[in-house]
Structure 1
């Protein structure tokens, strides 16, 4: 094992001896009310796991495994600097949801330079798929690994040498790192292959919740439909390089609520002659904020966040006649979210009617819960063991949402996290930046998933 990688694995192993509680990590989970325990489990050494090379050689299992382990880690060290360069380039040139064409083009050029994968462009908008077909397949299964293309409407404030060149747009969720890690897995697949077909998907519009559905609805995706699907997301606040995992719901369901309140303007000196939405909006905020506890008693993972309020135009002479309110509704399951949505709808309509205001309601940015099946969770654990990364088991779902749940609703698999460091800035902070030290570990973990997945029968194979 190269010396610097060995050193990193030793550090990860030291981290694996710790046990932390959610009380200590309330900010990273986003809900201080949670009281779940998180266990960090040490993993066995790669040399004890009989899974690296079953489809690659006719040598004895122990000998070929040791040889390929050294070769994989050596190649990973060789390409590491290139992955950092790629991540920095993607960071410098971010694209917002729905406008990721330039980012997808950069990734496509890189893949054409470094791999012979078959590329399918323009999936569901700007989506890009890199298809690796095995030369001597031993499995007829298809495995999908996904990263996201889009950035956020947040200005870069850090004096980075690779700071964003797009005004008001930057990668503050780490999607630049996710893309670079998936490209690292592509280099490993190009060099070492896989036992079955692997599809690397660079998905558009994750931040708005629209991209996964658009890709799935694209007729060209039919030929790529996977038997298993996986994605990772970096997680600040967890030990760097740890694999964060949970069976069942990993990331919550959510939906945006947009209320447009209409009344009638009046002179500010005679507000009683108009119908201002001010009191109605104020009451809506007061009643929506605690509504989850009433609609879903005992469900601490359900809550409503008021995200926007606007009323009239800046003026001292006009009592406004219109306003709007936006909120995000969250719950651990799609069913609970539906219950919360219905309760919010009823509350808004009741308050508006009592204040003599018309209220139009729109639902936006719907994210399904990301639900990991038992087999997918086990495969991620196997991959972490192969990559010698410690595993953190969550007892409760993470409160944020990810549209990868749409893929998991159609194929078994898992969404999991990769710890970005206990002291890392939180995602969506203007001071956040993806840690480059994660790139090779993430690439190795994704590549290890291709080994673990093709050595375990899929659900359909098990039934047969």
Structure 2
């Protein structure tokens, strides 16, 4: 299915123009609902949840229900692609490929709405993957319980792989992630009288330096973890000693145990800064995402299918420090996620990300074939 005859490329471009923040995806939900409204309704049932959508396709002789997840939110990034169909929402962009994810899901859905599957299918258009996290509350709904799938699959575009490539692995694929916000409050004052103040810029700088020792001296060298402080704010003008400072960052670990150890050490260091700099502190971990741990049996089966039954090139990938709240969906339900090659010179979350749209057809055809294979 090439770009020239693939209607889902145009759908992707229209969705690309309306990126929205998590749980504010009203235009996106409306677009999806309008498209679904035009599908044959004999075998489908739909329920909305917040700005997300559950859609069940009734199988002809169901033995199980297979779930398919597509995330729908955008990112607060100003687009710099120069595309004719660039974002119409100022300061927002589909910079993580969710526009492709949705168009792929609609392509798969359309096929099975017009060619009823043997098994039941549950499509989940999930809001807020980029934050604050929509997967966990979505699977806690009565809708999910009522239509609970026996397995779930999902994909994510990968700009670093060429079109026609799928990459995945059994077991751990994506890391545990947690946001990190640390607020420091001291006593500000005139720059000429530092002895009468408690300078939070100095305290913040000291804390950033100390945080770099957490991974090096508290995590097993054979394990992996990352602490990144991506933003520091503090003070008002050049001649006033800062009363407040704030650190914003992220924590990534390849095990739940390491996440616990890292947080314990961060909390100990923050307590030390509180004492050493005579200030008040607070920590907020914001959104926390569970690791994406692919079911070994299902993933190996999928990898064999791709190798033996398709023209797609399969790569066994390594685990990555990226985060995905899809991990919550397969924490208690067997499932897997895979990378879809979308070759772009710019990576995920970049203002110039421009995936190769031929990836859309590759994904639609592969997933349709795989779901038919699972029904046999």
Query: Which TM-score band (shorter chain)?
Result: over 0.9
The SS at the match of 2:221 is coil
Equivalences for residues 15-54 of structure 1 within 5 A: none
> For the structure 1 residues 398 and 209, does the alpha-carbon distance in structure 2 shift closer, same or farther, using more than 3 Å as the test?
farther
Per-residue deviation, 1:424? 3.0
Partner deviation per Cα, 1:282-316 (whole Å, 9 max, x = no partner): 11111112311211131453111111100022x13
Partner deviation per Cα, 1:90-131 (whole Å, 9 max, x = no partner): 0011111120121011011112213435353432x2111221
Q: 1:152 aligns with which of 71, 75, 84?
A: 75
The SS at the match of 1:122 is strand
Equivalences for residues 158-197 of structure 1 within 5 A: 158-197=81-120
Q: Residue 260 of structure 2 corresponds to which residue in structure 1?
A: 338
Report the Cα distance in structure 1 between the residues aligned to 2:173 and 2:100, rounded to whole angstroms.
Answer: 21
Q: Does the aligned pair in 2 maintain the 1:95–1:150 contact within 8 Å?
A: yes
Q: Are 2:234 and 1:311 aligned? A: yes
Q: Which moved more, 1:335-344 or 1:380-389?
A: 380-389
Q: Which moved more, 1:322-331 or 1:445-454?
A: 445-454
Q: 1:97 aligns with which of 22, 26, 33?
A: 22
Report the Cα distance in structure 2 between the residues aligned to 1:241 and 1:94, rounded to whole angstroms.
Answer: 26
Report the Cα distance in structure 1 between the residues aligned to 2:325 and 2:40, rounded to whole angstroms.
Answer: 28
Q: Are 2:231 and 1:324 aligned? A: no
Structure 1 segments (4+ residues) deviating >4 Å: 76-80
The SS at the match of 2:38 is helix
Q: Does the aligned pair in 1 maintain the 2:159–2:355 contact within 8 Å?
A: no
Report the Cα distance in structure 1 between the residues aligned to 2:270 and 2:109, rounded to whole angstroms.
Answer: 49
Partner deviation per Cα, 1:194-241 (whole Å, 9 max, x = no partner): 221001111000001510012012222211211001100001112322
Q: Residue 17 of structure 1 corresponds to which residue in structure 2?
A: none
Report the Cα distance in structure 1 between the residues aligned to 2:2 and 2:56, rounded to whole angstroms.
Answer: 24
Q: Does the aligned pair in 1 maintain the 2:3–2:357 contact within 8 Å?
A: no
Q: Does the aligned pair in 1 maintain the 2:201–2:235 contact within 8 Å?
A: no
Report the Cα distance in structure 2 between the residues aligned to 1:188 and 1:387, rounded to whole angstroms.
Answer: 18
* Unaligned stretches of 5+ residues in structure 2: none
Per-residue deviation, 1:379? 3.4
Q: Does the aligned pair in 2 maintain the 1:145–1:231 contact within 8 Å?
A: yes
Per-residue deviation, 1:340? 1.3
Q: Please, what TM-score do these two structures have when normalized by structure 2?
A: 0.95
Report the Cα distance in structure 1 between the residues aligned to 2:40 and 2:246, rounded to whole angstroms.
Answer: 50
Q: Residue 108 of structure 1 corresponds to which residue in structure 2?
A: 33
Q: Please, what TM-score do these two structures have when normalized by structure 1?
A: 0.77
Report the Cα distance in structure 1 between the residues aligned to 2:262 and 2:366, rounded to whole angstroms.
Answer: 37
Report the Cα distance in structure 2 between the residues aligned to 1:143 and 1:79, rounded to whole angstroms.
Answer: 31
Report the Cα distance in structure 1 between the residues aligned to 2:157 and 2:315, rounded to whole angstroms.
Answer: 13
Q: Residue 5 of structure 1 corresponds to which residue in structure 2?
A: none
Equivalences for residues 48-447 of structure 1 within 5 A: 80-116=5-41, 118-123=44-49, 125-134=50-59, 136-137=60-61, 139-299=62-222, 301-313=224-236, 315-385=237-307, 386-394=309-317, 396-421=318-343, 423-447=344-368
The SS at the match of 2:232 is strand
Q: Does the aligned pair in 2 maintain the 1:287–1:347 contact within 8 Å?
A: yes
The SS at the match of 2:287 is strand
Partner deviation per Cα, 1:68-88 (whole Å, 9 max, x = no partner): xxxxxxxx5699431011000
> For the structure 1 residues 133 and 383, does the alpha-carbon distance in structure 2 shift closer, same or farther, using more than 3 Å as the test?
farther
Q: Does the aligned pair in 2 maintain the 1:383–1:448 contact within 8 Å?
A: no
Q: Does the aligned pair in 1 maintain the 2:169–2:316 contact within 8 Å?
A: yes
Per-residue deviation, 1:450? 1.3
Report the Cα distance in structure 2 between the residues aligned to 1:262 and 1:312, rounded to whole angstroms.
Answer: 11
Instruction: Give RMSD over aligned pairs.
Output: 1.8
Report the Cα distance in structure 2 between the residues aligned to 1:213 and 1:384, rounded to whole angstroms.
Answer: 29
Q: Does the aligned pair in 2 maintain the 1:252–1:401 contact within 8 Å?
A: yes
Q: Does the aligned pair in 2 maintain the 1:372–1:415 contact within 8 Å?
A: yes
Partner deviation per Cα, 1:240-263 (whole Å, 9 max, x = no partner): 221111111101111011101010
Report the Cα distance in structure 2 between the residues aligned to 1:371 and 1:119, rounded to whole angstroms.
Answer: 30
How many residue pairs match? The answer is 374
The SS at the match of 2:6 is helix
